[in-house]
Amino acid sequence: MASHLHERLRDSNPGWAEWHALLQLVESLTFQQINDEYLGTFFAAGDRLCFSALDADRSFPAFVPAYVASLYGLKADEYEMAGGYAIELSHEPAIRGSLFSPLGNDADLGYPEIDPPPGTFPFLTTNTGASLFLTSNLQVVFPDAEKETFATLDDLKTFTRRSIQAAVENRNWTSFYEQQLGNLID
């Protein structure tokens, strides 16, 4: 199992120090493949580190760097926990009314209906269920209900490096963004 993950990570290594540390961590852990009827397939080392398996038919928008697929589902947690790096990413763009709830009932839940910027795609959810999005210019953004607009969290490269660092340090990536995300992660 670890050899599969090591290969997956090695093939798209961008040369970052964080990536090297992640490779070392993956080599040091024992992973099991878990097939959950409702949640999907995972490669998990207990509650220490987890990746989601990439379905054969899953593809990402062409603008997404190769390292995104390699890190798909990365989290320093049990596989059953919500979230995971790029877990929501697909070719389907974000749509008005489904920014705070993927069920398309933002207004029913008391959230404003905000038009997402063109080229914005669901990217991941936090462990509390808040949604983050990725733009075609590689910015990680989130809908700000108070300002009724999208706010930039970080560029994808920095967000990714911080996500890897957090996973290696056995903590949630949200620790880097507590001030910006505030109540989205509480």
What's the pLDDT tens digit per position in 163-176? Answer: 999 999 999 888 88
What's the pLDDT tens digit per position in 23-61? Answer: 999 999 999 999 999 999 999 999 999 999 988 788 899
Helix (H, G, I), strand (E, B) or coil at 182: helix
Compute the CA torsion angle 169, 40, 37, 28 (nearest 10 deg): -40
* In contact, 166 and 175? CB cutoff 8 Å: yes
Q: Is 186 a residue whose pLDDT tops 60?
A: no
Provide the CB-side half-sphere exposure for 139 (13 A, CA).
Answer: 13
Which of 116, 140, 125, 40 is closest to 87 using CA atoms?
Answer: 125
Number of C-beta neighbours around residue 77 at 10 A: 20
Per-residue pLDDT band for 183 (boundaries 50, 70, 90) equals low
* In contact, 87 and 125? CB cutoff 8 Å: yes
